[in-house]
Amino acid sequence: MAFRRQIIRATLQNAKRNSFAQLARAGGRCFSTASPSLSAATADAPPQLPPFDHRPKPYKGPSAEEVLQKRKTYLGPSLFYYYQKPLNIVEGKMQYLFDENGKRYLDAFAGIVTVSAGHCHPEILKDIVEQSELLQHATIIYLHHAIADFAEGLAEKMPGNLKVVYFVNSGSEANELAMMMARLYTGNLEMISLRNGYHGGSSNTIGLTALNTWKYPIPQGEIHHVMNPDPYP
Ligand SMILES: Cc1ncc(COP(=O)(O)O)c(C=O)c1O
């Protein structure tokens, strides 16, 4: 882990030293630079986001500092944040996010794939609004066609005999289910988990997890962490 951090730090320092523009001028292999036909002046300019036809609404909510203070007061310290001045995100549209000052950011992260079709996609919004106006929730002890339709749609895309769907709310729950199924099938408690893997934050999946940023010193059960085959050949 320390070695990996060292490599990342060295790579970042290197990247800083050799700016993209320098790389482009030197004819280096760099995928994010302007084309060689552009003038050096253009290559030196900071990259600009392409035009986008959406104006964020004027934001009248609490400032980043106020949100941060309230989080510190009312939320547990395990909810950490990135950057000394974390972004206060107030609006999203397709592949972009906007902060409290209307500044636009390209979101290459998309809520860790939880909004895989981008932010506030009009077709998805339309369906959400229509359904919410009709019925917001039905439990599985009654019938509703949506869960069966969705399961059928997913099953049709799956290979082989993977035709039964079990819906969960999170990645942690999915891995909890996988662990339970494996234990049910084998009758064993013990598990092997690869180092450097993240598997969730529930009591079982935090045991499987072997990344120091997400690992806490709680009893993890019968989990054996083993070396990962070299992921950087
Ligand atoms: C590989 C992997 N497994 C499990 C999880 C846990 O998912 P969740 O945060 O939805 O519980 C994540 C979340 O980032 C993940 O990336």
Q: Is residue 198 in contact with ligand 1, taking CB distance under 6 Å? A: yes
Which mutation among 109, 168, 175 tests ligand 1's pocket best, with the greatest number of atoms within 8 A of CB? Answer: 175
| pLDDT at 227 > cutoff 80 | yes
All CATH 3.90.1150.10 domain ranges of the chain, comma separated, are: 64-123
Cβ-contact 43, 30 below 8 angstroms: no
pLDDT digits (tens, 9 = 90+) for 84-129: 999 999 999 999 999 999 999 999 887 777 788 899 999 999 999 9
Distance separating alpha carbons of residues 21 and 45, to the nearest angstrom: 9
pTM over 0.75: no
Partner residues linked to 193 by β-bridges? 225
Half-sphere exposure of 105 (CA within 13 A, CB side): 16
* Distance of CA 196 from the midpoint of ligand 1 (Å): 13
Pull the structure tokens for residue 193. 């988990």
Pull the structure tokens for residue 88. 């206060």
Mean model confidence pLDDT for the chain:
84
User: Cα dist. 143→15, 128, 130, 140 in Å?
Assistant: 56, 19, 19, 7
Pull the structure tokens for residue 172. 């942690």
Count the Cβ atoms, other than its own, within 10 Å of residue 24: 20
pLDDT digits (tens, 9 = 90+) for 4-58: 444 344 434 444 443 333 333 333 333 333 444 555 556 688 889 999 999 999 9
Q: Which homologous superfamily is 64-123 in?
A: Aspartate Aminotransferase, domain 1 (3.90.1150.10)
pLDDT band at residue 228 using 50, 70 and 90 as cut-offs: confident
Residue of the CA atom closest to atom 16 of ligand 1: 198
At residue 39, the pLDDT reads 54
